[in-house]
A and B are shown apart, each in its own frame.
Chain A
């Protein structure tokens, strides 16, 4: 029995030891990483761990009474839902309460500050032309041009790794006294080279010839001089580096008025004087972050306007493009705060635009997110923030865990009874799969806001079945081969390709389900899809790199190869055809690749 084994091992078998070592190293590395990162438990979802509950109260926008109605509230819920869940599988819950409140529940461990900003404060989105801007380095500094130019010089280095066009703009701007905001170096470029019809609209409030200094800009917007003087005073006094001032600056501005505003660009606070809103955030049809591979400009945000928004955007960009810095910029203003102020070099028609510059991926996605979902029909005020305990009571969860453990114990007993010695493969396969799932979930908590909730736990429980199925299919194949009269080692090698195909074909279906649901859906469904996809991939990894190599190694042991009564592979017990096994005729087991299948 030993001779044919040695003959086959060199050619037909890969190196099982290597695969096993590989997966063990991977487990060790992942586990080590888990302990090193300090996140030794998966982040639990709000139903299992509780979290923070934010109650927001809706307010009518200035000049828009009766905006609080069911339709608008529902829209707001949907927008907030997309916004809090937009950057990953964070699984926040959003619902209306009463007629004018919205509750947002955020799982424990989420950056609740960030979430509060996303749901509460980003209420209205406008595109406003920039009339003046400078770094806010204190009231005294902002008054004198020389100081603001020093502000700009501190900011400009951060902008240098941007695209060539915007770099150039940055360079020229740093010469002018009040260029600071453009040091970010973001350019709006024409996405579609459609015909340009730059009709001079009034929306830019003809601030065109204003020089860069604050006083000049206000004198240029001459029409309402009283308002302008007030604005100028406000602007001079404004110090955006102070949170208290930021909290009020420009927050109550009507879209039709000019206003002051603050904005944090590349970690530096800038202050702005902004003209009336030229384009409304609701007129952005779609925005997305894309990586520009063609010109290597890095991350960009592409936006598409609806038809009226596209026209308005064409008008204002045509107007702005004629101006000097910083009046060729427009501010993207979210609830009174400037989130980005790209400059315009030409009229942008066709309803599509790109914002490019030295974005990181996160910045670009966040901006795209705000642009897409930014247009809440109402403004909201935080009414209360409180912690909440898990909706699934602690006792119940405890009971569930005990029950689950009993179920798992039954699985192990079943495997022991039915597969006997083969449980040495089966149970560790399940364990490896469980460890990998746990560790990866723990690591993904901080990485992509993955939160383990009840649906995810269910996904994991069903994954036990799918993981077990992989080795059950494999084992049954091996047993079939043994019943044909093969000895164990050839049986394992012959069974594997067939079992492998079955496993891959069926796991692909599961993975397809997971991928589609993950891409299309939001919230909890997305979280579930993620779990399903993860466990499916791990199933394949475990069966390829653990179950199969371990089986190959064990097939060399006498206990299994000789079909010990307790090995689970006893040919007699399996009902193999005895004569064939003993006589080992040439047509039998060692035939190798030839498949004498008849039907």
Chain B
């Protein structure tokens, strides 16, 4: 079977597992580093807001045979900004360029006229205001705020408040990274970018919730056993859903990657770059944060609970005892074959008959 299927099986059995929760400090560190870089990028370079947000200049030409693509490159040369070019019903072109004031628009107009071999008089230049006005922006913020509150309430009810907090942290993490990369790359922010960010927001939460759902299921009766601490089970839960996470991320990223690398890179679909970049970074960050940030964070918060502290004590005590027994058993030399009890890891259902000698071992093995 495919390698990943095999990996899935071994993850399922606990033969291999990555200690996401145990090594959380490293990943927290990585994330903090990336986030700081992103924030620095935002602070230093700022976002390159497009014409829809900051307005700019619009040049309307008289009837011309120059193609839209040509005009686009002329406009980019003349101004250094991405231009939006549309053909008008009159046969003329409408060229919109962001970040222009009167002086700049005059020089651009002259340069355009020269490039397009036109009389400067036949090009009308005007400053335009933002089409994405404060109203739209404010409404979007308002919607976002309401949504955040509702989501926290929903997660707190459906799961618990700790998970709601962790999901929110992961969400902010993803959005910060995506915006930061935008600032660093210097792509123009268009309404499409904003929509891309909103999409990320939805996806990041979605992915986190899928991971949390499995975590919740596996920790349902956690206090009734003494083999695993909350962190152990959280770790098993991540490893158990790892194949799903990888598959979903690959499937979600492939079309976006196609758009970004093939479309933007080879075929020259320039304006699609900005939106596919925000999606690509955001989706990747969303998948990463559900596993490396959100779940370990929940484990941290949970371990602070008195109940879980007590459990941890019991588990450790039991492990010490088991270790002592194992030593005894080892001296007797009747340890069962290694692979006879591969599936006894984790809280998954298992016939009682098969767990006789393996108690405590799988988790011990990971340590």
Taking Cβ atoms with an 8 Å cutoff, the residues of A that contact B are 50, 53, 73-74, 77-78, 81-82, 93-98, 101, 103, 105, 386-397, 399-400, 402-408, 410-411, 414-415, 417-418, 420, 454-455, 458-459, 461-462, 464-466, 468-469, 472-473, 476, 479-480, 483-484, 498, 501-502, 505-510, 512-514, 516-517, 519-525, 528-529, 532, 565, 568, 570, 572-577, 580, 585, 587-588, 595-599
Contact = CB atoms under 8 A, between A and B. Distances in A.
B307 interface: no
A386 B89 contact: yes
A406 B94 contact: no
Contacts of B131: 93-95, 105
A393 B72 contact: yes
Contacts of A529: 143, 198
A396 B143 contact: no
B129 A96 contact: yes
B130 interface: yes
Contacts of A476: 8, 241, 243-244, 247
Contacts of B254: 407-408, 410-411, 414
A523 B2 CA distance: 46
User: How would you classify the secondary structure of chain B's contact residues: helix, strand, loop or mixed?
Assistant: helix
Nearest to B204: A509
B308 interface: no
26 contacts: A78-B133, A97-B127, A388-B86, A399-B263, A399-B268, A403-B259, A403-B269, A404-B259, A410-B257, A414-B250, A465-B253, A466-B252, A468-B252, A469-B252, A472-B251, A479-B5, A480-B12, A507-B206, A508-B154, A520-B146, A525-B140, A532-B202, A570-B1, A575-B8, A577-B343, A598-B348
Contact of B262 (A406, A466, A524): A406
Contacts of B144: 517
Contacts of B352: 587, 596
Given A388-B94, A505-B213, A520-B146, A73 B129 contact: yes
Interface stretch (B38-46, B177-185, B217-225): B217-225
B202 to A, nearest CB: 5
Given A97-B58, A396-B271, A599-B346, A509 B151 contact: yes
Interface string B66-98: 001100100000000000111111100010000
Contacts of A514: 202
Contact of B248 (A103, A469, A508, A585): A469
B259 A53 contact: no
B78 to A, nearest CB: 18
A418 B251 CA distance: 11
Interface stretch (B21-29, B189-197, B324-332): B189-197
Interface in B237-283: 240-241, 243-244, 247-259, 262-264, 267-272, 275-276, 279, 283
A45 to B, nearest CB: 11
Given A407-B259, A596-B351, A598-B350, A521 B191 contact: no
Contacts of B348: 480, 484, 597-598
Contacts of A517: 140, 143-144, 147, 198
Given A53-B88, A418-B247, A458-B279, 17 more contacts: A393-B72, A399-B272, A400-B263, A404-B255, A407-B255, A455-B192, A464-B255, A468-B247, A473-B244, A476-B244, A506-B210, A508-B154, A513-B201, A525-B195, A572-B1, A573-B9, A576-B9
Contacts of A498: 217
Contact of A461 (B146, B213, B255): B255
Interface SS of chain A: helix
A96 to B, nearest CB: 3
A-B pairs, top 10 by smallest CB distance, nearest first, are A465-B252, A599-B347, A407-B258, A573-B1, A575-B9, A403-B263, A96-B129, A407-B255, A399-B267, A455-B195
A376 to B, nearest CB: 14
Contacts of A480: 12, 240, 348
Contacts of B258: 403-408, 410
A97 B68 CA distance: 21
B259 A506 contact: no
Contacts of A392: 271-272
A483 B343 contact: yes
B252 A396 contact: no
A525 B259 contact: no
Contacts of B221: 597, 599
Nearest to B12: A483
B65 interface: no
A103 B140 CA distance: 22
Contacts of A96: 55, 128-129
B281 to A, nearest CB: 13
Interface in B125-170: 126-136, 139-140, 142-144, 146-147, 150-151, 154-155, 158
A521 B143 contact: yes
A104 to B, nearest CB: 10
A598 B346 CA distance: 9
> Which residue of A94, A95, A98, A498 has the most chain B CB atoms within 10 A of its CB atom?
A95
Contacts of A408: 254-255, 258
A387 B88 CA distance: 5
B259 A595 contact: no
Contacts of B195: 455, 458-459, 524-525, 528
B353 interface: yes
B173 interface: no
A78 B135 CA distance: 6
B322 interface: no
A362 B5 CA distance: 56
Interface string B290-311: 0000000000000000000000
